[in-house]
């Protein structure tokens, strides 16, 4: 009998604000089980701007590939149909927050890029140095926008999620609905 390779999911990594997260609709909540939580504030993120999460440790032994699911909410529910929310991964070689980061980035939750060297780096220049994951396409007729974004194959143990709002409107002022979830896809031989 030949071996089969099955895929199962590991513990999710959820990027959000713990004290604010309170989704009104279970239909848009990506949470499975008890995820590892990482801070990512997206409240009132303006169009054409980016935000970065706190650096996360994926583990010395980690999944080879992760699926990213996105969930955002727009002010007045008026994003532009066909707009996007774009996602990137900024890998790191160090567990220390401010060390070993793309472009000397801070490693902390905040406006992207935060603390980058040489300091005058634009958002476009910064994300060009990161790993593109994919985009969440938005519509103009739904309150909460959520969907599959893409796959990430992280080259290092540590990194940060970068979110760039190109949806035509600012995000809602509050993080009640917004959460981004990395799902580890674990290969298992049977």
Q: What is the pLDDT of residues 124-158, one digit of tens each?
A: 999 999 999 999 999 987 678 999 999 999 999 99
**Contact between 30 and 71 (Cβ < 8 Å):** yes
Number of structural domains (the chain) is 1
Q: Note down the domain range covering 73.
A: 5-189
pLDDT of residue 143: 76
Q: Is the pLDDT of residue 120 over 80?
A: no
Q: What is the mean pLDDT of residues 169-188?
A: 93
Q: How far apart are CA 64 and CA 61, in angstroms?
A: 9
Q: Is the pLDDT of residue 118 over 70?
A: no
For 3, 95, 118, 175, the CA distances from 59, given in Å and listed in that order, are 27, 10, 30, 27
**Residue matched to tokens 């793309």:** 102
């Amino acid at each position: 009998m030949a071996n089969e390779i099955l895929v199962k999911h590991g513990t999710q990594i959820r990027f959000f604000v713990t004290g604010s997260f309170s989704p009104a609709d279970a239909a848009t909540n990506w949470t499975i089980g008890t995820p590892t939580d990482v801070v990512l504030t997206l409240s009132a993120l303006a169009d054409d701007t980016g935000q970065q999460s706190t650096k996360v440790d994926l583990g010395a032994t980690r999944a080879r590939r992760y699926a990213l699911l996105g969930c955002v909410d727009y002010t007045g529910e008026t994003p532009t149909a066909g707009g996007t929310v774009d996602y990137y991964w900024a890998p790191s070689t160090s567990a220390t927050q401010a060390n070993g980061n793309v472009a000397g980035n801070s490693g902390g939750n905040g406006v992207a890029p935060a603390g980058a060297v040489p300091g005058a780096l634009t958002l476009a220049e910064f994300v060009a140095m990161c790993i593109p994951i994919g985009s969440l396409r938005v519509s103009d007729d739904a309150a909460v926008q959520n969907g599959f974004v893409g796959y990430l194959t992280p080259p290092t143990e540590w990194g940060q999620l970068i979110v760039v709002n190109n949806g035509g409107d600012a995000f809602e002022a509050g993080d009640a609905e917004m959460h981004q979830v990395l799902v580890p896809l674990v290969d298992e031989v049977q």
